[in-house]
């Protein structure tokens, strides 16, 4: 057999047949070249012999090794240059199992697939992504092991210390890759991404808390993935040892985050879902060992933001740090926030060992918090504030250091029904309204219903089953507080089953409540 370079060397005596069978000089594979018309000699696909041009024949992917990137003694710069030359032609490219170092960015083209059999690519320079597909479309990246430079950190969202940079990309599939030690993010596309699928990937860093809190700054902008746009799917990935796990940026739409594992966030949240996200589903994920919140949906007032249709369901969240809720929905605009998330469902989750509240829901208009299992919580099992038309029902809450359910301020049309609360108030903080099964604080709550809940204390820890705090100001009293229903509840092992701090204020109904299992239903005044 004849090697390709020998055949195409000027002045040789090999005949210029229409089809020639040769051997690739770098892969030693059999290769067929076919005579064609005029072309540009690129040295790999199109080659010239005398006055004739030949085209290399292949099916499927071209092999990156055809560009001789494993030559003995080759420089990192030359490797980078040759890979870019191969990619620039726009063919689908295969990277076999090997290790490569580069010192710059590799640029992908529209309608291109790159496939690897665990090719390891390490970036050796700072502030440079490995793959760039910004403003490109119809691209897939599969099977690589990508490693960042690992040291340089830029304290803003413009950092290019990422594995894949994909702002404004469309129809992008990233799957079955491994990412390590990118100081900003494995994948970054903060805006304009459409139809992204990120699945079956692993992001596993060697970073720890000491790295994240170095003298150079608080490195909270290190994330597993940071993406924003519409029609985004993040499915069955694993994230470990980043400052935050999954970050969805502002005003994204149609986002699905399902069946992912997020473990050991070294500085902040497991998931940070930023302002104005709509049509969001967070389903069946496992979030463990976060320094702050497990799953956080944060809204803020903005004229063009909407936040509709949110489902956070069937997730497991455990071991959040001090001050970290298991699941938090909130508007953090200073002063008096105006924007409410609308149509919110938080259901079927398991929250265990949360450093603050188990489930914390604020600034929600129409929502359900139901069928959650909440256990070993440092503060309240469920915390509710600033809501309209929210139902808290069928939750099983056990061993909260403060309340089982805390109904804080500014709630309208709130129902807390059919919940089971066991061992609340275990902290014994001395604050009476925190040593309860259910507390309703007296700051402009209206139309509150507490029905058919069961509260069981442990020893003398639960001072009250239901504690209602009323405002003493007679003018304020006239605007709210008069429409509570407390009906059909069971309170066991409480020092005092029910307490109402201002008996002047009338309840709509207070009846059929049980103080112990032997007491028959009676009307109470």
The pTM for the full model equals: 0.93
**% residues pLDDT > 90 (the chain):** 80
Give the strand pairing for 446-451 and 30-36.
unpaired
pLDDT for the residue 401: 95
- Rounded to whole angstroms, how far apart are CA atoms 350 and 381? 11
- Whether residue 240 has pLDDT greater than 60: yes
Q: What is the mean pLDDT of residues 418-432?
A: 88
Q: What is the mean pLDDT of residues 93-113?
A: 98
Over the chain, what is the mean pLDDT? 92
Closest CA to 433 of 409, 459, 465, 387: 465
| Placement of tokens 């050991």 in the chain | 264
Closest CA to 448 of 479, 411, 420: 411
- Rounded to whole angstroms, how far apart are CA atoms 392 and 373? 13
pLDDT for the residue 53: 97
DSSP string, 206-219: ---HHHHT-TT---
- Whether residue 524 has pLDDT greater than 80: no
pLDDT for the residue 502: 57
Q: What is the mean pLDDT of residues 87-99?
A: 97
Which of 106-120, 170-184, 442-456, 475-489 is least confident? 475-489
- Whether residue 339 has pLDDT greater than 60: yes
pLDDT tens digits along 363-404: 999 999 999 999 999 999 999 999 999 999 999 999 999 999
Give the strand pairing for 202-204 and 238-240.
parallel
Q: What is the mean pLDDT of residues 273-298?
A: 97
- Whether residue 480 has pLDDT greater than 70: no
Angle, CA of 477, 478 and 484, to the nearest 5°? 70
Q: Which residues share a beta bridge with 173? A: 140, 197
**% residues pLDDT > 70 (the chain):** 93
Q: Which residues contact 500 (CB under 8 A, 6 or more apart)?
A: 468, 470, 507
276, 255 contact by CB (below 8 A): no
**CA distance between the termini of the chain:** 103
| b/e map 18-42, b = 16+ CB within 10 Å | eebebbbebeeeebebeeeeeeeee
Question: Residue 296 corresponds to which tokens in the numbers above?
Answer: 């956080």
Confidence of residue 520 (pLDDT cuts 50, 70, 90): very low
Is the four-CA dihedral 369, 370, 371, 375 of positive or negative sign? positive
From residue 70, give the alpha-carbon distance in Å to each of 6, 30, 90, 190: 19, 19, 21, 35
- Burial label, 433 (beta-carbon count in 10 A; 0-12, 13-18, 19+): buried
Which of 341-350, 353-362, 430-439 is least confident? 430-439
Q: Helix, strand or coil for residue 46?
A: strand
pLDDT for the residue 521: 46
pLDDT tens digits along 484-512: 788 899 999 999 898 876 555 555 566 77
- Whether residue 479 has pLDDT greater than 50: no
């Amino acid at each position: 057999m004849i090697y390709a370079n020998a055949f195409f060397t000027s002045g040789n005596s090999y005949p210029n047949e229409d089809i020639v069978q040769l051997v690739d000089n770098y892969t030693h594979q059999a290769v067929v070249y076919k005579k064609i018309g005029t072309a540009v000699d690129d040295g790999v696909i199109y080659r010239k012999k005398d006055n004739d041009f030949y085209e290399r024949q292949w099916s499927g992917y071209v092999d990156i090794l055809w560009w001789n990137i494993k030559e003995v003694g080759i420089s990192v710069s030359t490797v980078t240059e040759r890979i870019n030359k191969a990619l620039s032609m726009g063919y689908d490219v295969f990277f076999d199992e090997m290790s490569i170092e580069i010192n710059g960015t590799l640029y992908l083209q529209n309608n291109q697939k790159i496939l690897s059999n665990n090719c390891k690519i390490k970036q050796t320079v700072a502030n440079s992504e490995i793959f760039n597909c910004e403003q490109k479309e119809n691209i897939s990246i599969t099977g690589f092991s990508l490693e960042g430079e690992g040291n340089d950190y830029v304290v803003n969202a413009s950092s290019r210390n990422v594995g894949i940079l994909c702002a404004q990309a469309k129809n992008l599939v990233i799957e079955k890759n491994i990412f390590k030690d990118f100081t900003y993010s494995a994948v970054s596309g903060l805006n304009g991404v459409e139809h992204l699928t990120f699945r079956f990937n692993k992001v596993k860093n060697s970073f720890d808390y000491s790295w994240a809190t170095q003298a150079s700054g608080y490195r909270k902008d290190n994330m597993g993935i940071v993406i924003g746009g519409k029609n985004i799917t993040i499915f069955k990935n694993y994230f470990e040892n980043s400052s935050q796990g999954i970050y969805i940026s502002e005003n994204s739409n149609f986002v699905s985050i399902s069946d992912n594992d997020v473990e050991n966030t070294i500085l902040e949240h497991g998931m940070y879902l930023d302002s104005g996200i709509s049509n969001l589903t967070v389903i069946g994920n496992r979030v463990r060992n976060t320094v702050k919140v497990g799953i956080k949906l944060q809204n803020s007032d903005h004229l063009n933001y909407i936040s509709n249709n949110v489902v956070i369901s069937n997730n497991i969240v455990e071991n959040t740090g001090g001050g970290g809720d298991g699941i938090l929905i909130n508007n953090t605009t200073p002063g008096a926030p105006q924007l409410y998330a609308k149509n919110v469902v938080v259901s079927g989750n398991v929250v265990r060992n949360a450093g603050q509240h188990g489930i914390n829901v604020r600034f929600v208009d129409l929502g359900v918090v139901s069928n959650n299992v909440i256990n070993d919580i440092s503060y309240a099992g469920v915390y509710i504030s600033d809501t309209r038309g929210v139902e808290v029902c069928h939750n099983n809450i056990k061993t909260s250091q403060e309340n089982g359910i805390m109904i804080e301020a500014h709630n309208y049309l709130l129902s807390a029904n059919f919940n089971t609360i066991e061992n609340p108030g275990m902290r014994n903080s001395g604050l009476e309204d925190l040593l309860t099964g259910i507390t309703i604080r007296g700051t402009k709550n209206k139309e509150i219903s507490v029905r058919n809940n069961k509260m069981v204390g442990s020893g003398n820890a639960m001072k009250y089953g239901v504690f209602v705090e009323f405002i003493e100001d007679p003018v304020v009293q006239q605007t709210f507080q008069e429409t509570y229903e407390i009906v059909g509840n069971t309170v066991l092992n409480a020092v005092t089953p029910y307490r109402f701090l201002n008996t002047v204020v009338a309840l709509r109904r207070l009846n059929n409540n049980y103080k112990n299992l032997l007491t028959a239903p009676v009307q109470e005044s």
